[in-house]
Structure 1
Amino acid sequence: MARFDPRGKANRALLFGVPDYDFTRPEHPFGVSGDLPAVEHNLDGLRQALRAGGVFTEAGITVARPRTVDEFDRHLDAAVEAAEGLLLLYFSGHGAVPSTGDELWLLMRRATIVPGTESVFRGAVPWKSVLTVLSRARAERVVVILDCCYAGNASAAWDVLGTAQRQRTSLLMSVQANNRIDAGDADTPTPFTAELVRLLQNGEIGFEELADRLRAHMSAHHTTLREPPEPWEPQSRSATSGSDVLLAAPPSRPPGTPPPALFAESYGNGGRRPPAQPARARDGSRAPARRPVGRGGLVPLTGRRRLAAVIGVPAAIAGLVATGLAVLDGGGGAPCKPPLELRLLTDPDLEPTLRKAAEAYLTSNANRTGGGCRRSGITVYSAGAAATVSAFSRQSDPWQRPTGDETNPQRDIGPQPDIWIPASFASADRARLSSPERTYVTLEADPEPFAYSPVVLAVPQSLAEPATARVGSLAALTEAVRKREARAELRRTDPENTDAGLLATIGLYGGGPGETDPASAERRVAQPGPPSRTGTELLCTLPDDDAADERTSALVPEFLLKTAVGCDSATRTGRTAEYPVDVPGLSPTFVRVRWQGADRDKGARDTAVAGFRTWLTGKGGTTEAGSGAPGGLAVFGQDGFRSGSGGHRPLGGGDFGALADPGQLPGPAFPSAMTDALKRYREANGPGRVLFLLDSSGSMGGLWEGPGGAPGIITQSLAGLGPQDEYGVWGVASEPGGPRPYGEVLGFGKHQREEAQHAITASAQVKDLEADPYRALAAALDYMAQRGTDDHRPQLIVYITDDEDNDRLTEGGRLGDLLATARARRIPVVMASLDSGGCDKGKPDAAVSEASGGRCLDTKGDLVARLRDEVARTGTGGEG
């Protein structure tokens, strides 16, 4: 493998460490679990190792112990601006995760955890925002090293980066996801950084070798603090540019001369070899667990001195991007009060732009007091459009007070928002309760959208019409493309996940005399596996197949032709916008959300929401310098949006394949048209068929009980299946040489959901036998193929496993045979691995799902919610 050698370039190493915390338990009820004196040794040792390593100069290494988020940001911004060759970022201190474990937060010295209605991480940096800032770096390569509990949870945000970012960013995490680790003794460094420094000072080494050797050492000598203990396994994500990066090349030493002893190797117990049980921290007390209530709640907090505490934020936050939990210094160095935190929920297609807008607002004068303090912070997150509408209209009660695992918007959508910005004006109407059911939420939508983006046909430039012929019906535009390329294909995003996908579906199905049969329309956009979840994902995965990229048109929002281009810029096919007059456009709308009983700070919250609304929508706002549009609209203009009213003129400039004036553009959709299109989409191919394979071998015993156990995961996923769908469950464990590799847990057929859930709970049992995943999957593919010979009903196979028996899948030529069968059958297989690394590149699970056109899910993300989404796409049980 080629190696990037940064020596002689303008390199920067930024070492963040937080050894002391101002607020700790039990003295402070909202404090963290304790100080971390070992971190001070980490900073000293790593600085010396890097200085001696020949890559970084003394002036190129910055050591920082940030008290506040603002201090962290200032140091990070300076390093991002200065680095031209290699930028190395290191953090050691308390890490924190919400109850879902799908987001990592880095806690600064003044961090606190405030429970209740306003339960937030104050003085904490969201990992996703760090990645966003690093994306601006001029450095040729970026390396991040995290030494904190739950460091492995950082991989989820890296995995969804665009290709351009992944090509130059490498991530080393001290431990696997959802695991706590020993902090080391007061007189020694943490175990991970002790070994990190030893390797850096021991000769020339690159990132790949460093990660491999750390993984081997830590897993052999240490265990995590999980119960029961697990081997301590550092994780890594490598830059995808095909080259390693040199991190240290110390000057050669005379033979037999040992490296300098920066500090003694530590095993987390005073330098001794690891004990039989993992090292215990000094304070062994535990805070009681609390069930989430109202708009927030707590999950168990640990009182032991560790590198992180599990912290419950308001609900289970899926896809969270936080942009303002800052504690700032006001004028004269006086500390500011923590700003009021607002929560903004939006459509997945809009999330990147709204994240930029929120970040711009947080640092604008509109959000500053006279003393320079921030008035408010904003957390931006997204969720599936159809699920969000359903949650507002029918599930506001369980959103406020979750009562079970099947319906829990706190887990599936995220915390109860103060602001909702749907991508379509009509969605706000669809979300309002129209039945006599009790509701706990009130939606106050602005009378008109503040921005607009038509849904366009993004056509490869070689197949596009001249500018004068780029407007017409969707049928006419697609037919013109087919005349130029007989093999032309058409793609559309998931109508369940984004409003843009649903609006495109309205155009595909048509209306009136020219109405198209939904099943026929769906065959026009058919593809291997499920549709892409967002327009960005669609445009960024097309270049994976050059031939398909050159002949495929995509129905996506126009603004994505400007923003979704950083994923594969070197090889992607350029696209031109054509404008179907029968596809409604996106119309982002500001909606104030009010929750019953959440009025403790009503006045302050109303003021904060109103301030952001004024800045974002331009209603009474001032014009930002250098832009013809008021504050937030300038950000939307930079991202390619148009004015929300009038002739929908562009808010910004730039040539990105769009027409500045394509003529009269379609208006927003009618709520009834969106509801009808979603219903017809779900029924397009009739009821679905799903076969669940449940690994019931002996190794699954510790992953069996409760809603997070394997049977519980299946019962929760049945929410996406209706009474007309057919499904069944096989238990995969068998005697060697037995006649079949499974036993029937639930017979395949139509079921009432509650009866099926009860049957699975009662019948699913762990057996003292091994699983044979090869034979089970081969049998499942044959079984489902026999049932799909006479119709086009959607089918899905789901295999839930801990991967302990994967050696029986890969032995001999078995895996190759199975992949060939999966490609031939074209029945999507979802591999749901209860191992956090089950879907890593090169693993059998990833290969099987890819060959079949399915998805691979593991515990790096919210496996339960994502599996339920996959099943719902096949079944008819969801509500819109």
Structure 2
Amino acid sequence: MTAKPDPLQSRAVLLGVSRYSYLEDLPGVADNLPALAEAVCGPFGWGLDAEHCSVVAEPASLEEMLEPVSMAAMSARDTLLVYYAGHGLLNRQQELHLGLRNSRVGRGRTAVPYAWLREAITEGRAQRHVIILDCCFSGRALGSMSGPGSLADQAWIDGSFLMAAAPETGPALDPPGERYTAFTGELLSTMEQGVPGAGMWLTMDDLYGHLRSVLTSKDRPTPQRRTRNRAGELVWGRNAGYERSFKRPAHLLATSSAWPDPDRFLDASEFIHALGVVRSISGLTQRELSSNSPTPLSEGSISRLLNRDDLPHRWTKTIEAYLSSCGIPDDHIERWKAAWERLRAASNHALSTVTPATTPEPDSSRSLRSRFKAIGLRKQSPTKRSSH
């Protein structure tokens, strides 16, 4: 397993409830879901194909919430992301429940026990789990939270990275006049703007540290995390604020001066990173790029190209079609090809100059098997919407 999720073997399920019969509505949640789905599937997220990211808006029953999670858990082999935004409630035993449309304060049977969601998540074969909870929990639907255990403690899954939007003693916010909930809005902003001073890739620990700092500085609820088995090193996405060989433009204008300069790429990682930046500058989704391509170009091919760890071994029609669909002119594409040839030649030269390790004499007392180790692989509300 690498630090970056394999987009073909990973899945995401985004759950959200914004409308309630007996609790205060949370309009920001409705806008959270499509925006986060686009970000997770985009070049600065995991690059998932759309069919691998399920958006479950306004689930009205336990089955409607849990069945998509169960299906995703069974098909994911690398990483599973589960996100929930809505009202968080506590039953009399202080156990976390996730609100549904008809949930009521003090009636745990009207909401989904988090323990059941946790069971659905862990019944699959994914190697890693990322759980993001944008909710508060309390004895009341609105107001401060209380209880002997923290939200993160109650939501724990061994081997996972859990990020909770608020501490156990405070609410999560859906501020009036803001498009998104406070936590998810900052998460989306971080994916769009990046983290200045951080590396090319943002890990879950990078993301959490930045969100905690920014939200605390704005006097908003301080998020929590729980991580184990080095899950914090899992890559959340490319850092849009990373500056090395070029700067990401302040606004997305597909002009020649805005494109990354291939003559300045220093290594394969910059070449791959620049491919993602080009897509961002174009403002087009992977589906639109596929439809606009002058030659056949599938969304899966785009996803694989943007999520490579190394330089493509051959200059293919896929690279040319992708750059052309993004709006790169033909003469500029030739410069990209020249950059690929330069970096490829440098890589081959580096490999040819490596001194081979001395091969030890065979040991007849050891079997061949013992000499090798396998490497495993928008909205506003006239009333205050302070918590959920």
Same fold by TM-score greater than 0.5: yes
* Corresponding residue for residue 115 of structure 2: 128
Letter of the aligned partner of 1:64 in structure 2? Answer: V
Within the alignment, does 1:84 sit opposite 2:164 as a pair? no
Letter of the aligned partner of 1:63 in structure 2? Answer: V
Q: Deviation of residue 49 (structure 1)?
A: 1.1
Q: Deviation of residue 135 (structure 1)?
A: 1.8
User: Aligned pair in 2 of structure 1 residues 127, 46: CA closer, same or farther (>3 Å)?
Assistant: same
User: How does 1:219-618 map onto structure 2 within 5 Å?
Assistant: 219-223=216-220, 232-241=221-230, 244-249=233-238, 255-258=247-250, 283=383, 305-308=385-388
Q: Deviation of residue 257 (structure 1)?
A: 1.1
User: Aligned pair in 2 of structure 1 residues 99, 112: CA closer, same or farther (>3 Å)?
Assistant: closer
Give the Cα–Cα distance (whole angstroms) in 2 for the partners of residues 256 and 191 of structure 1.
25
Letter of the aligned partner of 2:188 in structure 1? Answer: V
Does the 8 A contact of 1:3 with 1:243 survive in 2? no
* Corresponding residue for residue 6 of structure 1: 5
RMSD: 3.0
Larger proportion of helix: 2
Q: Deviation of residue 99 (structure 1)?
A: 6.0
Does the 8 A contact of 2:152 with 2:163 survive in 1? no
Give the Cα–Cα distance (whole angstroms) in 2 for the partners of residues 90 and 157 of structure 1.
16
Secondary structure (helix, strand or coil) at the match of 2:38 reads: helix
State which of 19, 42, 48 in structure 1 corresponds to 2:38. Answer: 48
Q: Deviation of residue 39 (structure 1)?
A: 0.7
User: How does 1:64-79 map onto structure 2 within 5 Å?
Assistant: 64-65=56-57, 66-79=59-72
Q: Deviation of residue 9 (structure 1)?
A: 3.7
Q: Deviation of residue 109 (structure 1)?
A: 1.6
Within the alignment, does 1:175 sit opposite 2:255 as a pair? no
Within the alignment, does 1:104 sit opposite 2:184 as a pair? no
Q: Deviation of residue 132 (structure 1)?
A: 2.0
User: Aligned pair in 2 of structure 1 residues 202, 132: CA closer, same or farther (>3 Å)?
Assistant: same
* Corresponding residue for residue 208 of structure 1: 205
* Corresponding residue for residue 277 of structure 2: none
User: Aligned pair in 2 of structure 1 residues 257, 108: CA closer, same or farther (>3 Å)?
Assistant: same
Give the Cα–Cα distance (whole angstroms) in 1 for the partners of residues 77 and 187 of structure 2.
24
May I ask how many residue pairs the two structures share in their alignment? 242
Q: Deviation of residue 12 (structure 1)?
A: 0.8
State which of 138, 143, 146 in structure 1 corresponds to 2:130. Answer: 143
Secondary structure (helix, strand or coil) at the match of 2:80 reads: strand
Give the Cα–Cα distance (whole angstroms) in 2 for the partners of residues 208 and 236 of structure 1.
9
Q: Deviation of residue 120 (structure 1)?
A: 2.1
Q: Deviation of residue 198 (structure 1)?
A: 1.5
* Corresponding residue for residue 263 of structure 2: none
Letter of the aligned partner of 2:223 in structure 1? Answer: P
Give the Cα–Cα distance (whole angstroms) in 2 for the partners of residues 149 and 158 of structure 1.
12
Give the Cα–Cα distance (whole angstroms) in 2 for the partners of residues 243 and 180 of structure 1.
25
Give the Cα–Cα distance (whole angstroms) in 1 for the partners of residues 49 and 73 of structure 2.
17
Q: Deviation of residue 110 (structure 1)?
A: 2.5
Q: Deviation of residue 75 (structure 1)?
A: 1.2
Higher Cα Rg: structure 1 or 2?
A: 1
**1:299-357, Cα deviation, whole Å (9 max, x unpaired):** xxxxx63443xxxxxxxxxxxxxxxxxxxxxxxxxxxxxxxxxxxxxxxxxxxxxxxxx
Does the 8 A contact of 1:127 with 1:154 survive in 2? no
**1:604-628, Cα deviation, whole Å (9 max, x unpaired):** xxxxxxxxxxxxxxxxxxxxxxxxx
Letter of the aligned partner of 1:172 in structure 2? Answer: M
Does the 8 A contact of 1:111 with 1:123 survive in 2? yes
Does the 8 A contact of 1:36 with 1:305 survive in 2? yes
Q: Deviation of residue 234 (structure 1)?
A: 0.4
Give the Cα–Cα distance (whole angstroms) in 2 for the partners of residues 134 and 8 of structure 1.
18
Give the Cα–Cα distance (whole angstroms) in 1 for the partners of residues 379 and 209 of structure 2.
24
User: Aligned pair in 2 of structure 1 residues 124, 269: CA closer, same or farther (>3 Å)?
Assistant: closer
Q: Deviation of residue 243 (structure 1)?
A: 5.8
User: Aligned pair in 2 of structure 1 residues 222, 282: CA closer, same or farther (>3 Å)?
Assistant: farther
Does the 8 A contact of 1:17 with 1:43 survive in 2? yes
Does the 8 A contact of 1:201 with 1:248 survive in 2? no
Q: Which runs of 5+ in 1 are unaligned?
A: 24-30, 114-118, 160-164, 224-231, 262-267, 271-280, 284-303, 309-880
* Corresponding residue for residue 53 of structure 2: 61
State which of 16, 23, 28 in structure 2 corresponds to 1:38. Answer: 28
User: Aligned pair in 2 of structure 1 residues 237, 19: CA closer, same or farther (>3 Å)?
Assistant: same
Q: Deviation of residue 171 (structure 1)?
A: 0.2
Secondary structure (helix, strand or coil) at the match of 2:103 reads: strand
Q: Deviation of residue 191 (structure 1)?
A: 1.2
Secondary structure (helix, strand or coil) at the match of 1:212 reads: helix
After the TM superposition, which parts of structure 1 deviate over 4 Å for at least 4 consecutive aligned residues?
250-254
Does the 8 A contact of 1:184 with 1:269 survive in 2? no
Give the Cα–Cα distance (whole angstroms) in 2 for the partners of residues 67 and 189 of structure 1.
22
Give the Cα–Cα distance (whole angstroms) in 1 for the partners of residues 36 and 74 of structure 2.
22
User: How does 1:444-843 map onto structure 2 within 5 Å?
Assistant: none
Does the 8 A contact of 1:3 with 1:246 survive in 2? no
Give the Cα–Cα distance (whole angstroms) in 2 for the partners of residues 244 and 259 of structure 1.
30
Q: Deviation of residue 269 (structure 1)?
A: 12
Aligned-residue identity in percent: 24
* Corresponding residue for residue 296 of structure 2: none
Q: Deviation of residue 258 (structure 1)?
A: 3.1
Q: Deviation of residue 190 (structure 1)?
A: 0.8
Secondary structure (helix, strand or coil) at the match of 2:104 reads: strand
**1:851-880, Cα deviation, whole Å (9 max, x unpaired):** xxxxxxxxxxxxxxxxxxxxxxxxxxxxxx
Secondary structure (helix, strand or coil) at the match of 1:109 reads: coil
Give the Cα–Cα distance (whole angstroms) in 2 for the partners of residues 156 and 54 of structure 1.
27
User: Aligned pair in 2 of structure 1 residues 134, 256: CA closer, same or farther (>3 Å)?
Assistant: closer
* Corresponding residue for residue 195 of structure 1: 186
Secondary structure (helix, strand or coil) at the match of 1:91 reads: strand
User: Aligned pair in 2 of structure 1 residues 156, 243: CA closer, same or farther (>3 Å)?
Assistant: closer
Give the Cα–Cα distance (whole angstroms) in 2 for the partners of residues 71 and 153 of structure 1.
27
* Corresponding residue for residue 427 of structure 1: none
Does the 8 A contact of 1:146 with 1:174 survive in 2? yes
Letter of the aligned partner of 2:11 in structure 1? Answer: R
Does the 8 A contact of 1:4 with 1:243 survive in 2? no
* Corresponding residue for residue 298 of structure 2: none
Q: Deviation of residue 240 (structure 1)?
A: 2.6
Bigger relative contact order (CA 8 A; separation at least 6):
2
Letter of the aligned partner of 2:179 in structure 1? Answer: T
* Corresponding residue for residue 154 of structure 1: 151
**1:81-127, Cα deviation, whole Å (9 max, x unpaired):** 12111110111111112467x421100123234xxxxx623431111
Give the Cα–Cα distance (whole angstroms) in 2 for the partners of residues 83 and 220 of structure 1.
37
Secondary structure (helix, strand or coil) at the match of 1:15 reads: strand
Between stretches 5-14 and 141-150, larger displacement belongs to 5-14
Letter of the aligned partner of 2:86 in structure 1? Answer: G
